[in-house]
A and B are shown apart, each in its own frame.
Chain A
Amino acid sequence: MNNLGFALEGAWKVLLAGLVLGAGLPLLFALGIRSLAYGAGGDASSATGRPAHPVGTVVAWILFVVVLLGVALGITFIVASGFGKELSFEHIFPTIVDK
Protein backbone atom coordinates (compact mmCIF):
# COMPACT_ATOMS: atom_id res chain seq x y z
CA MET A 1 0.00 0.00 0.00
CA ASN A 2 1.31 3.48 -0.74
CA ASN A 3 1.22 6.68 1.27
CA LEU A 4 -2.09 7.78 -0.23
CA GLY A 5 -3.70 4.52 0.84
CA PHE A 6 -2.36 4.84 4.40
CA ALA A 7 -3.41 8.47 4.56
CA LEU A 8 -6.96 7.82 3.41
CA GLU A 9 -7.27 4.89 5.79
CA GLY A 10 -6.10 7.11 8.65
CA ALA A 11 -8.25 10.01 7.49
CA TRP A 12 -11.61 8.28 7.59
CA LYS A 13 -10.88 6.88 11.06
CA VAL A 14 -9.93 10.33 12.32
CA LEU A 15 -13.05 11.76 10.68
CA LEU A 16 -15.23 9.14 12.38
CA ALA A 17 -13.65 9.63 15.81
CA GLY A 18 -13.75 13.40 15.26
CA LEU A 19 -17.46 13.32 14.47
CA VAL A 20 -18.30 11.14 17.48
CA LEU A 21 -16.23 13.15 19.98
CA GLY A 22 -15.79 16.53 18.31
CA ALA A 23 -19.37 16.98 17.16
CA GLY A 24 -21.11 14.43 19.40
CA LEU A 25 -20.03 15.93 22.71
CA PRO A 26 -20.99 19.50 21.71
CA LEU A 27 -24.33 18.03 20.62
CA LEU A 28 -24.86 16.56 24.10
CA PHE A 29 -23.74 19.84 25.65
CA ALA A 30 -26.27 21.75 23.56
CA LEU A 31 -28.98 19.25 24.48
CA GLY A 32 -28.03 19.78 28.11
CA ILE A 33 -28.47 23.53 27.76
CA ARG A 34 -31.84 23.04 26.05
CA SER A 35 -32.84 20.66 28.80
CA LEU A 36 -31.68 23.06 31.50
CA ALA A 37 -33.82 25.80 29.99
CA TYR A 38 -36.78 23.42 29.85
CA GLY A 39 -36.14 22.49 33.49
CA ALA A 40 -36.06 26.12 34.55
CA GLY A 41 -39.40 26.71 32.88
CA GLY A 42 -40.03 29.08 30.02
CA ASP A 43 -37.60 29.16 27.17
CA ALA A 44 -35.62 32.18 28.24
CA SER A 45 -36.90 34.18 25.30
CA SER A 46 -40.27 34.63 26.97
CA ALA A 47 -40.61 35.81 30.54
CA THR A 48 -44.09 34.38 30.85
CA GLY A 49 -43.08 32.12 33.73
CA ARG A 50 -44.09 28.69 32.55
CA PRO A 51 -43.98 25.94 35.19
CA ALA A 52 -40.59 24.44 35.98
CA HIS A 53 -39.76 20.84 35.05
CA PRO A 54 -37.27 19.34 37.53
CA VAL A 55 -36.74 16.36 35.24
CA GLY A 56 -35.25 18.71 32.66
CA THR A 57 -32.65 19.87 35.15
CA VAL A 58 -31.74 16.29 36.05
CA VAL A 59 -31.38 15.25 32.41
CA ALA A 60 -29.28 18.33 31.77
CA TRP A 61 -26.78 17.46 34.47
CA ILE A 62 -26.58 13.85 33.32
CA LEU A 63 -25.68 15.16 29.87
CA PHE A 64 -23.08 17.56 31.30
CA VAL A 65 -21.47 14.69 33.23
CA VAL A 66 -21.20 12.66 30.02
CA VAL A 67 -19.49 15.63 28.36
CA LEU A 68 -17.10 15.96 31.30
CA LEU A 69 -16.26 12.24 31.00
CA GLY A 70 -15.37 12.90 27.37
CA VAL A 71 -13.05 15.70 28.43
CA ALA A 72 -11.52 13.44 31.09
CA LEU A 73 -10.89 10.85 28.38
CA GLY A 74 -9.05 13.50 26.37
CA ILE A 75 -6.87 14.51 29.32
CA THR A 76 -6.14 10.86 30.13
CA PHE A 77 -5.04 10.31 26.56
CA ILE A 78 -2.68 13.31 26.59
CA VAL A 79 -1.12 12.31 29.92
CA ALA A 80 -0.85 8.63 28.95
CA SER A 81 0.87 9.37 25.64
CA GLY A 82 3.28 11.69 27.44
CA PHE A 83 4.33 8.70 29.54
CA GLY A 84 4.71 6.46 26.49
CA LYS A 85 1.39 4.69 27.06
CA GLU A 86 -1.72 4.70 24.97
CA LEU A 87 -5.41 4.11 25.40
CA SER A 88 -6.83 0.83 24.24
CA PHE A 89 -10.48 0.55 23.31
CA GLU A 90 -10.19 -3.21 22.96
CA HIS A 91 -12.59 -3.84 25.84
CA ILE A 92 -14.78 -0.92 24.76
CA PHE A 93 -14.07 0.71 28.11
CA PRO A 94 -10.80 2.63 27.60
CA THR A 95 -7.79 1.14 29.38
CA ILE A 96 -4.21 2.38 29.53
CA VAL A 97 -1.66 0.04 27.94
CA ASP A 98 1.97 0.18 26.85
CA LYS A 99 2.59 1.48 23.37
Chain B
Amino acid sequence: MFTLWIWLCNASDDHRVTQSSVILVLVVVTALAFDFTNGFHDTANAMATTIATKALKPRTAVALSGLLNLVGAFLSVEVALTVTNAVVKIQNPDGTPQAALTADGGSALLLIVLAGLVGGIVWNLLTWLLGLPSSSSHALFGGLIGATVAGLGWAGVNWTGNGSKLDGVVGKVLLPAVLSPVIAGLVAAVGTWVIFKIVAGLFTERSFKWGQIGSASLVSLAHGTNDAQKTMGVITLALIASGHWTSVTSIPLWVKIACAVAIALGTYLGGWRIIRTLGKGLVEIAPPQGMAAQSSSAAVILASSHLGFALSTTHVATGSILGSGVGRPGAHVRWRVAGRMGAAWLITLPAAGLVGAAMWWIGDLLGGGLSGALAVFVLLVAAAGAMYWRSRLLPVGHHNVNEDWSAAAVPEPDAPDPVPASVASEKVRLP
Protein backbone atom coordinates (compact mmCIF):
# COMPACT_ATOMS: atom_id res chain seq x y z
CA MET B 1 0.00 0.00 0.00
CA PHE B 2 2.86 2.30 0.87
CA THR B 3 4.51 1.65 -2.49
CA LEU B 4 1.25 2.53 -4.18
CA TRP B 5 1.03 5.76 -2.25
CA ILE B 6 4.56 6.85 -3.17
CA TRP B 7 3.90 5.84 -6.73
CA LEU B 8 0.70 7.86 -6.91
CA CYS B 9 2.36 10.92 -5.46
CA ASN B 10 5.06 10.67 -8.09
CA ALA B 11 2.50 10.09 -10.80
CA SER B 12 0.52 13.26 -10.19
CA ASP B 13 2.49 16.11 -11.62
CA ASP B 14 1.66 18.66 -8.98
CA HIS B 15 2.39 16.21 -6.15
CA ARG B 16 -1.17 16.71 -5.06
CA VAL B 17 -3.36 13.68 -4.76
CA THR B 18 -6.35 14.43 -6.90
CA GLN B 19 -9.88 13.18 -6.33
CA SER B 20 -9.61 10.54 -8.99
CA SER B 21 -6.41 9.24 -7.43
CA VAL B 22 -8.21 8.64 -4.16
CA ILE B 23 -10.98 6.80 -6.01
CA LEU B 24 -8.28 4.77 -7.72
CA VAL B 25 -6.77 3.83 -4.36
CA LEU B 26 -10.20 2.70 -3.16
CA VAL B 27 -10.59 0.56 -6.29
CA VAL B 28 -7.15 -0.99 -5.83
CA VAL B 29 -7.74 -1.75 -2.14
CA THR B 30 -11.15 -3.24 -2.96
CA ALA B 31 -9.68 -5.33 -5.79
CA LEU B 32 -7.03 -6.71 -3.43
CA ALA B 33 -9.74 -7.44 -0.88
CA PHE B 34 -11.59 -9.37 -3.56
CA ASP B 35 -8.41 -11.27 -4.38
CA PHE B 36 -8.07 -12.12 -0.70
CA THR B 37 -11.64 -13.47 -0.48
CA ASN B 38 -10.97 -15.34 -3.73
CA GLY B 39 -8.07 -17.03 -1.93
CA PHE B 40 -9.83 -18.18 1.21
CA HIS B 41 -12.99 -19.09 -0.64
CA ASP B 42 -11.08 -21.49 -2.84
CA THR B 43 -8.69 -23.14 -0.35
CA ALA B 44 -11.32 -25.85 -0.08
CA ASN B 45 -11.15 -26.67 -3.78
CA ALA B 46 -7.61 -27.90 -3.46
CA MET B 47 -7.36 -29.00 0.14
CA ALA B 48 -10.79 -30.07 1.48
CA THR B 49 -10.31 -33.75 0.68
CA THR B 50 -6.69 -33.75 1.81
CA ILE B 51 -7.73 -32.30 5.16
CA ALA B 52 -10.79 -34.56 5.53
CA THR B 53 -8.75 -37.73 4.95
CA LYS B 54 -5.96 -36.41 7.24
CA ALA B 55 -3.37 -36.82 4.48
CA LEU B 56 -2.12 -33.43 5.70
CA LYS B 57 -2.77 -31.62 8.95
CA PRO B 58 -5.20 -28.72 8.42
CA ARG B 59 -2.62 -26.02 8.98
CA THR B 60 0.03 -27.72 6.86
CA ALA B 61 -2.50 -28.08 4.06
CA VAL B 62 -3.46 -24.39 3.97
CA ALA B 63 0.18 -23.34 4.23
CA LEU B 64 1.14 -25.55 1.27
CA SER B 65 -1.81 -24.32 -0.75
CA GLY B 66 -1.04 -20.69 0.07
CA LEU B 67 2.59 -21.10 -0.94
CA LEU B 68 1.67 -22.76 -4.24
CA ASN B 69 -0.86 -20.01 -4.95
CA LEU B 70 1.91 -17.47 -4.42
CA VAL B 71 4.23 -19.31 -6.80
CA GLY B 72 1.40 -19.74 -9.28
CA ALA B 73 0.53 -16.06 -9.21
CA PHE B 74 4.11 -15.10 -10.03
CA LEU B 75 4.09 -17.56 -12.90
CA SER B 76 1.44 -15.43 -14.62
CA VAL B 77 3.94 -13.56 -16.75
CA GLU B 78 1.48 -12.91 -19.56
CA VAL B 79 -1.56 -11.35 -17.96
CA ALA B 80 -4.65 -10.81 -20.05
CA LEU B 81 -6.07 -7.34 -19.52
CA THR B 82 -9.29 -8.28 -21.25
CA VAL B 83 -10.76 -10.09 -18.26
CA THR B 84 -14.03 -8.15 -18.19
CA ASN B 85 -14.66 -8.50 -21.94
CA ALA B 86 -16.21 -11.92 -21.46
CA VAL B 87 -19.28 -10.41 -19.83
CA VAL B 88 -19.42 -6.60 -20.13
CA LYS B 89 -18.52 -3.95 -22.67
CA ILE B 90 -16.34 -1.50 -20.76
CA GLN B 91 -13.10 -2.35 -22.57
CA ASN B 92 -11.99 -2.38 -26.19
CA PRO B 93 -10.85 -5.69 -27.68
CA ASP B 94 -7.19 -4.74 -27.03
CA GLY B 95 -7.84 -4.23 -23.30
CA THR B 96 -7.91 -0.43 -23.19
CA PRO B 97 -10.95 1.09 -21.50
CA GLN B 98 -13.70 2.43 -23.73
CA ALA B 99 -13.09 6.08 -24.48
CA ALA B 100 -16.56 7.13 -23.34
CA LEU B 101 -15.76 5.97 -19.80
CA THR B 102 -12.35 7.55 -19.33
CA ALA B 103 -13.31 11.21 -19.14
CA ASP B 104 -12.80 12.96 -15.81
CA GLY B 105 -10.02 10.71 -14.57
CA GLY B 106 -11.92 7.59 -15.59
CA SER B 107 -14.38 8.00 -12.75
CA ALA B 108 -17.24 6.44 -14.76
CA LEU B 109 -15.28 3.25 -15.29
CA LEU B 110 -13.81 3.26 -11.79
CA LEU B 111 -17.28 3.44 -10.24
CA ILE B 112 -18.49 0.46 -12.32
CA VAL B 113 -15.42 -1.58 -11.40
CA LEU B 114 -15.65 -0.61 -7.72
CA ALA B 115 -19.35 -1.45 -7.49
CA GLY B 116 -18.75 -4.72 -9.33
CA LEU B 117 -15.93 -5.71 -6.99
CA VAL B 118 -18.07 -4.94 -3.96
CA GLY B 119 -20.82 -7.16 -5.39
CA GLY B 120 -18.30 -9.98 -5.76
CA ILE B 121 -16.84 -9.57 -2.27
CA VAL B 122 -20.22 -9.38 -0.52
CA TRP B 123 -21.39 -12.56 -2.24
CA ASN B 124 -18.10 -14.32 -1.46
CA LEU B 125 -18.39 -13.39 2.22
CA LEU B 126 -22.04 -14.37 2.46
CA THR B 127 -21.47 -17.79 0.89
CA TRP B 128 -18.43 -18.27 3.14
CA LEU B 129 -20.56 -17.44 6.19
CA LEU B 130 -23.04 -20.10 5.05
CA GLY B 131 -20.19 -22.54 4.33
CA LEU B 132 -21.12 -22.84 0.67
CA PRO B 133 -18.51 -23.14 -2.06
CA SER B 134 -19.32 -20.79 -4.93
CA SER B 135 -17.28 -19.56 -7.83
CA SER B 136 -15.35 -16.36 -7.14
CA SER B 137 -15.08 -15.61 -10.84
CA HIS B 138 -18.83 -15.86 -11.20
CA ALA B 139 -19.29 -13.58 -8.20
CA LEU B 140 -16.95 -11.03 -9.78
CA PHE B 141 -18.66 -11.33 -13.16
CA GLY B 142 -22.06 -11.04 -11.49
CA GLY B 143 -21.02 -7.87 -9.66
CA LEU B 144 -19.59 -6.36 -12.84
CA ILE B 145 -22.70 -7.25 -14.84
CA GLY B 146 -24.95 -5.64 -12.23
CA ALA B 147 -22.86 -2.50 -12.03
CA THR B 148 -22.70 -2.26 -15.81
CA VAL B 149 -26.46 -2.70 -16.24
CA ALA B 150 -26.98 0.05 -13.67
CA GLY B 151 -24.38 2.33 -15.24
CA LEU B 152 -24.70 1.68 -18.96
CA GLY B 153 -27.99 -0.15 -19.36
CA TRP B 154 -28.70 -3.69 -20.55
CA ALA B 155 -26.85 -3.10 -23.81
CA GLY B 156 -23.61 -2.76 -21.87
CA VAL B 157 -23.62 -6.47 -21.13
CA ASN B 158 -22.07 -9.00 -23.49
CA TRP B 159 -24.80 -11.63 -23.26
CA THR B 160 -23.93 -14.07 -26.02
CA GLY B 161 -20.86 -12.75 -27.86
CA ASN B 162 -20.90 -12.44 -31.65
CA GLY B 163 -21.30 -16.12 -32.44
CA SER B 164 -17.74 -16.66 -33.67
CA LYS B 165 -16.51 -18.26 -30.45
CA LEU B 166 -17.59 -19.23 -26.98
CA ASP B 167 -18.28 -15.83 -25.43
CA GLY B 168 -20.59 -13.69 -23.35
CA VAL B 169 -22.53 -14.40 -20.18
CA VAL B 170 -24.08 -17.51 -21.76
CA GLY B 171 -20.87 -18.93 -23.20
CA LYS B 172 -18.40 -17.99 -20.49
CA VAL B 173 -20.50 -18.29 -17.36
CA LEU B 174 -23.81 -20.14 -17.68
CA LEU B 175 -22.92 -23.07 -19.95
CA PRO B 176 -19.59 -23.86 -18.22
CA ALA B 177 -21.35 -23.72 -14.84
CA VAL B 178 -23.85 -26.35 -15.96
CA LEU B 179 -21.37 -28.60 -17.70
CA SER B 180 -18.37 -28.50 -15.34
CA PRO B 181 -19.80 -30.43 -12.36
CA VAL B 182 -21.13 -33.06 -14.76
CA ILE B 183 -17.75 -33.53 -16.47
CA ALA B 184 -15.74 -33.49 -13.25
CA GLY B 185 -18.28 -35.70 -11.50
CA LEU B 186 -18.11 -38.32 -14.25
CA VAL B 187 -14.31 -38.38 -14.26
CA ALA B 188 -14.11 -38.67 -10.48
CA ALA B 189 -16.82 -41.34 -10.34
CA VAL B 190 -15.03 -43.47 -12.92
CA GLY B 191 -11.69 -42.93 -11.17
CA THR B 192 -13.07 -43.81 -7.74
CA TRP B 193 -14.86 -46.88 -9.06
CA VAL B 194 -11.77 -48.37 -10.75
CA ILE B 195 -9.51 -47.59 -7.78
CA PHE B 196 -11.80 -49.38 -5.36
CA LYS B 197 -12.03 -52.33 -7.79
CA ILE B 198 -8.27 -52.58 -8.08
CA VAL B 199 -7.27 -52.20 -4.46
CA ALA B 200 -10.19 -54.18 -3.00
CA GLY B 201 -8.95 -56.28 -0.13
CA LEU B 202 -5.73 -54.30 0.41
CA PHE B 203 -5.19 -52.14 3.45
CA THR B 204 -3.49 -49.42 1.49
CA GLU B 205 -5.27 -46.26 2.46
CA ARG B 206 -2.02 -44.60 3.50
CA SER B 207 -0.49 -45.22 0.09
CA PHE B 208 -2.92 -42.75 -1.40
CA LYS B 209 -1.61 -39.94 0.76
CA TRP B 210 1.04 -38.90 -1.76
CA GLY B 211 -1.34 -39.13 -4.67
CA GLN B 212 -3.68 -36.79 -2.83
CA ILE B 213 -1.00 -34.30 -1.87
CA GLY B 214 0.37 -34.24 -5.40
CA SER B 215 -2.96 -33.66 -7.11
CA ALA B 216 -4.05 -31.09 -4.51
CA SER B 217 -0.79 -29.21 -5.12
CA LEU B 218 -1.46 -29.12 -8.84
CA VAL B 219 -4.89 -27.63 -8.22
CA SER B 220 -3.38 -24.98 -5.92
CA LEU B 221 -0.73 -24.02 -8.45
CA ALA B 222 -3.24 -23.79 -11.28
CA HIS B 223 -5.51 -21.69 -9.05
CA GLY B 224 -2.71 -19.21 -8.39
CA THR B 225 -1.98 -18.73 -12.08
CA ASN B 226 -5.63 -18.43 -13.12
CA ASP B 227 -7.31 -16.48 -10.38
CA ALA B 228 -4.68 -13.95 -9.29
CA GLN B 229 -4.50 -12.91 -12.96
CA LYS B 230 -8.08 -11.71 -12.92
CA THR B 231 -7.43 -9.19 -10.15
CA MET B 232 -4.17 -8.12 -11.79
CA GLY B 233 -6.16 -7.44 -14.96
CA VAL B 234 -8.85 -5.49 -13.12
CA ILE B 235 -6.37 -3.30 -11.23
CA THR B 236 -4.37 -2.56 -14.36
CA LEU B 237 -7.59 -1.65 -16.17
CA ALA B 238 -8.36 0.85 -13.40
CA LEU B 239 -4.83 2.28 -13.67
CA ILE B 240 -5.17 2.72 -17.43
CA ALA B 241 -8.62 4.30 -17.11
CA SER B 242 -7.34 6.87 -14.63
CA GLY B 243 -4.28 7.60 -16.72
CA HIS B 244 -1.66 6.05 -14.43
CA TRP B 245 -0.56 3.33 -16.81
CA THR B 246 -0.55 3.04 -20.59
CA SER B 247 0.81 -0.34 -21.65
CA VAL B 248 -1.71 -3.04 -22.55
CA THR B 249 0.96 -5.73 -22.87
CA SER B 250 2.46 -5.54 -19.39
CA ILE B 251 1.36 -4.81 -15.85
CA PRO B 252 3.14 -2.89 -13.07
CA LEU B 253 5.31 -5.11 -10.88
CA TRP B 254 3.70 -3.89 -7.66
CA VAL B 255 0.31 -4.99 -8.98
CA LYS B 256 1.63 -8.48 -9.55
CA ILE B 257 3.28 -8.66 -6.12
CA ALA B 258 0.26 -7.25 -4.30
CA CYS B 259 -2.17 -9.64 -6.01
CA ALA B 260 0.07 -12.65 -5.48
CA VAL B 261 0.45 -11.87 -1.79
CA ALA B 262 -3.27 -11.14 -1.32
CA ILE B 263 -4.43 -14.42 -2.84
CA ALA B 264 -1.74 -16.40 -1.01
CA LEU B 265 -2.62 -14.84 2.36
CA GLY B 266 -6.29 -15.49 1.72
CA THR B 267 -5.58 -19.11 0.88
CA TYR B 268 -3.42 -19.48 3.97
CA LEU B 269 -6.18 -18.05 6.17
CA GLY B 270 -8.31 -20.92 4.87
CA GLY B 271 -12.05 -20.72 4.39
CA TRP B 272 -12.63 -23.32 7.08
CA ARG B 273 -16.40 -23.25 6.78
CA ILE B 274 -16.21 -24.16 3.12
CA ILE B 275 -13.44 -26.71 3.68
CA ARG B 276 -15.72 -28.38 6.20
CA THR B 277 -18.70 -28.52 3.84
CA LEU B 278 -16.66 -29.89 0.93
CA GLY B 279 -14.57 -32.27 3.00
CA LYS B 280 -17.15 -33.59 5.45
CA GLY B 281 -20.58 -32.41 4.31
CA LEU B 282 -21.04 -33.91 0.85
CA VAL B 283 -19.63 -37.40 1.35
CA GLU B 284 -17.47 -39.21 3.86
CA ILE B 285 -14.18 -39.26 1.98
CA ALA B 286 -11.70 -42.13 2.18
CA PRO B 287 -8.14 -41.59 0.88
CA PRO B 288 -8.67 -43.41 -2.46
CA GLN B 289 -11.74 -41.22 -3.09
CA GLY B 290 -9.77 -38.15 -2.14
CA MET B 291 -7.11 -39.00 -4.67
CA ALA B 292 -9.65 -39.73 -7.39
CA ALA B 293 -11.47 -36.46 -6.69
CA GLN B 294 -8.33 -34.31 -6.68
CA SER B 295 -6.90 -35.99 -9.79
CA SER B 296 -10.16 -35.40 -11.57
CA SER B 297 -10.16 -31.73 -10.49
CA ALA B 298 -6.56 -31.20 -11.59
CA ALA B 299 -7.02 -32.94 -14.94
CA VAL B 300 -10.33 -31.26 -15.77
CA ILE B 301 -9.13 -27.78 -14.77
CA LEU B 302 -5.91 -28.05 -16.78
CA ALA B 303 -7.57 -29.73 -19.78
CA SER B 304 -10.34 -27.13 -19.85
CA SER B 305 -7.95 -24.20 -19.83
CA HIS B 306 -5.81 -25.91 -22.49
CA LEU B 307 -8.85 -26.43 -24.71
CA GLY B 308 -10.14 -22.88 -24.30
CA PHE B 309 -13.26 -23.95 -22.41
CA ALA B 310 -12.37 -22.40 -19.07
CA LEU B 311 -14.27 -23.92 -16.15
CA SER B 312 -14.62 -22.59 -12.63
CA THR B 313 -12.29 -24.34 -10.17
CA THR B 314 -15.05 -24.38 -7.57
CA HIS B 315 -17.58 -26.10 -9.81
CA VAL B 316 -15.02 -28.66 -10.93
CA ALA B 317 -13.81 -29.43 -7.41
CA THR B 318 -17.34 -29.81 -6.06
CA GLY B 319 -18.37 -31.99 -8.99
CA SER B 320 -15.32 -34.17 -8.44
CA ILE B 321 -16.03 -34.71 -4.75
CA LEU B 322 -19.66 -35.55 -5.54
CA GLY B 323 -18.49 -37.94 -8.23
CA SER B 324 -16.12 -39.66 -5.83
CA GLY B 325 -19.14 -40.32 -3.62
CA VAL B 326 -21.23 -41.63 -6.51
CA GLY B 327 -18.42 -43.89 -7.74
CA ARG B 328 -17.66 -45.56 -4.44
CA PRO B 329 -19.79 -48.64 -3.93
CA GLY B 330 -21.98 -48.17 -0.90
CA ALA B 331 -20.97 -44.56 -0.24
CA HIS B 332 -23.57 -42.09 0.91
CA VAL B 333 -23.94 -38.73 -0.80
CA ARG B 334 -25.78 -35.97 1.08
CA TRP B 335 -27.80 -34.67 -1.82
CA ARG B 336 -29.47 -32.05 0.35
CA VAL B 337 -26.09 -30.38 0.87
CA ALA B 338 -25.38 -30.69 -2.84
CA GLY B 339 -28.77 -29.17 -3.58
CA ARG B 340 -28.01 -26.15 -1.40
CA MET B 341 -24.75 -25.64 -3.26
CA GLY B 342 -26.54 -25.91 -6.59
CA ALA B 343 -29.03 -23.29 -5.44
CA ALA B 344 -26.18 -20.99 -4.39
CA TRP B 345 -24.56 -21.36 -7.81
CA LEU B 346 -27.81 -20.51 -9.56
CA ILE B 347 -28.22 -17.27 -7.66
CA THR B 348 -24.53 -16.26 -7.64
CA LEU B 349 -24.81 -14.19 -10.79
CA PRO B 350 -28.08 -12.36 -10.01
CA ALA B 351 -27.25 -11.91 -6.30
CA ALA B 352 -23.79 -10.44 -6.87
CA GLY B 353 -25.31 -8.47 -9.73
CA LEU B 354 -27.98 -6.92 -7.49
CA VAL B 355 -25.35 -5.84 -4.98
CA GLY B 356 -23.18 -4.46 -7.79
CA ALA B 357 -26.11 -2.53 -9.24
CA ALA B 358 -27.20 -1.18 -5.86
CA MET B 359 -23.66 -0.01 -5.14
CA TRP B 360 -23.45 1.77 -8.47
CA TRP B 361 -26.76 3.53 -7.87
CA ILE B 362 -25.70 4.66 -4.42
CA GLY B 363 -22.37 5.89 -5.76
CA ASP B 364 -24.06 7.64 -8.65
CA LEU B 365 -26.69 9.22 -6.39
CA LEU B 366 -23.86 10.85 -4.45
CA GLY B 367 -22.45 12.34 -7.61
CA GLY B 368 -20.36 9.43 -8.86
CA GLY B 369 -17.17 11.10 -7.69
CA LEU B 370 -15.14 10.75 -4.54
CA SER B 371 -18.10 10.93 -2.14
CA GLY B 372 -19.92 8.21 -4.07
CA ALA B 373 -16.88 5.94 -4.11
CA LEU B 374 -16.25 6.56 -0.41
CA ALA B 375 -19.87 5.70 0.44
CA VAL B 376 -19.63 2.44 -1.51
CA PHE B 377 -16.38 1.58 0.24
CA VAL B 378 -17.81 2.33 3.68
CA LEU B 379 -20.83 0.14 2.92
CA LEU B 380 -18.48 -2.69 1.94
CA VAL B 381 -16.50 -2.37 5.17
CA ALA B 382 -19.73 -2.34 7.20
CA ALA B 383 -21.11 -5.43 5.41
CA ALA B 384 -17.82 -7.29 5.74
CA GLY B 385 -17.55 -6.38 9.41
CA ALA B 386 -21.09 -7.53 10.12
CA MET B 387 -20.53 -10.88 8.42
CA TYR B 388 -17.22 -11.40 10.19
CA TRP B 389 -18.86 -10.64 13.54
CA ARG B 390 -21.65 -13.10 12.69
CA SER B 391 -19.10 -15.79 11.88
CA ARG B 392 -17.48 -15.45 15.31
CA LEU B 393 -20.66 -16.61 17.02
CA LEU B 394 -19.94 -20.16 15.89
CA PRO B 395 -16.41 -20.20 14.56
CA VAL B 396 -15.10 -22.98 12.35
CA GLY B 397 -11.34 -23.34 12.25
CA HIS B 398 -8.55 -25.87 11.94
CA HIS B 399 -9.53 -27.23 15.37
CA ASN B 400 -13.02 -28.38 14.45
CA VAL B 401 -13.00 -28.55 10.67
CA ASN B 402 -13.06 -32.35 10.67
CA GLU B 403 -15.69 -32.91 13.32
CA ASP B 404 -18.55 -35.24 12.55
CA TRP B 405 -20.95 -33.62 10.12
CA SER B 406 -24.08 -34.62 12.01
CA ALA B 407 -22.80 -33.40 15.39
CA ALA B 408 -24.44 -30.10 16.22
CA ALA B 409 -21.26 -28.67 17.75
CA VAL B 410 -20.35 -26.91 14.55
CA PRO B 411 -22.76 -25.05 12.31
CA GLU B 412 -24.61 -26.57 9.43
CA PRO B 413 -24.09 -24.52 6.31
CA ASP B 414 -27.66 -23.31 6.29
CA ALA B 415 -27.79 -22.47 9.98
CA PRO B 416 -24.90 -20.44 11.33
CA ASP B 417 -27.14 -19.64 14.30
CA PRO B 418 -26.86 -21.52 17.52
CA VAL B 419 -29.62 -24.03 16.94
CA PRO B 420 -32.46 -24.56 19.44
CA ALA B 421 -32.77 -28.10 20.76
CA SER B 422 -35.86 -28.89 18.69
CA VAL B 423 -34.09 -27.96 15.48
CA ALA B 424 -30.88 -29.65 16.55
CA SER B 425 -32.60 -32.98 17.02
CA GLU B 426 -33.94 -32.67 13.51
CA LYS B 427 -30.42 -32.10 12.27
CA VAL B 428 -29.00 -35.13 13.98
CA ARG B 429 -31.50 -37.22 12.13
CA LEU B 430 -29.97 -36.05 8.88
CA PRO B 431 -28.47 -39.09 7.22
Q: Which residues of A contact B (CB under 8 A)?
A: 1-4, 6-8, 10-11, 13-15, 17-23, 25-27, 29-31, 33-34, 36-37, 43-45, 67, 71, 74-75, 77-79, 81-84, 86-87
In the complex, what residue of chain B is closest to A99 when comparing beta carbons? B78
Chain B positions within 8 Å of A, measured between CB atoms, are 72, 75-78, 160-161, 163, 165-168, 170-171, 175-176, 179, 183-184, 186-188, 190-191, 194-195, 198-199, 201-204, 207-208, 211, 214-215, 218, 221-222, 225, 288, 291-292, 295-300, 302-309, 311
A44-B190 contact given A6-B166, A82-B76, CB 8 Å threshold: no
Whether B194 contacts A18 by the Cβ 8 Å rule is: no
Q: List, sorted by A's number, 18 A–B pairs whose CB atoms are closer than 8 Å.
A: A2-B163, A3-B163, A3-B175, A10-B308, A17-B307, A19-B186, A19-B190, A22-B191, A22-B303, A29-B208, A33-B198, A33-B204, A34-B202, A45-B201, A71-B214, A71-B215, A78-B221, A83-B75
* B296 to chain A: closest residue by CB: A22
Overall SS of chain B's interface:
helix
Could you tell me if A7 and B309 are in contact, using CB atoms closer than 8 angstroms? Answer: yes
Q: Is the CB of B183 within 8 A of A18?
A: yes
Q: A10-B304, A17-B307, A26-B191 are in contact. List 15 more A-B contacts (CB 8 A).
A: A3-B175, A10-B166, A11-B183, A18-B184, A23-B299, A26-B295, A27-B194, A30-B195, A36-B207, A37-B204, A44-B204, A74-B218, A74-B298, A81-B225, A84-B77
Least distance between B98 CB and chain A CB atoms (Å): 23
**A9 CB → nearest B CB, Å:** 8
Q: Please name all residues of chain A whose beta carbon is closer than 8 Å to the beta carbon of B183 when the two chains form the complex.
A: 11, 14-15, 18
CA distance A17 to B198 in the complex (A): 22
A1 and B191 alpha carbons, distance in the complex (Å): 33
Taken together as a complex, chains A and B put the C-alpha atoms of A30 and B196 apart, in Å, by 8
Chain B residue numbers with a CB within 8 Å of A30 are: 194-195, 198-199, 288
User: In the bound complex, what is the Cα–Cα distance between A67 and B298 (angstroms)?
Assistant: 13
Smallest CB separation, A83 vs chain B (Å): 5
A residues less than 8 Å from B297 (CB atoms):
22
A78 to B305, CA, bound (A): 10
Partner of A10, one of B72, B77, B188, B307: B307
Q: Are B211 and A75 in contact (CB under 8 A)?
A: no
CB-based contact A82/B225 at 8 Å: yes
On whether the beta carbons of A22 and B309 are closer than 8 Å, the reply is no
Supposing A18-B183, A44-B204, A79-B75 touch, asked if A3 and B171 sit within 8 A by C-beta, the answer is yes
A26 surroundings in chain B (CB, below 8 A) = 191, 194-195, 211, 291-292, 295
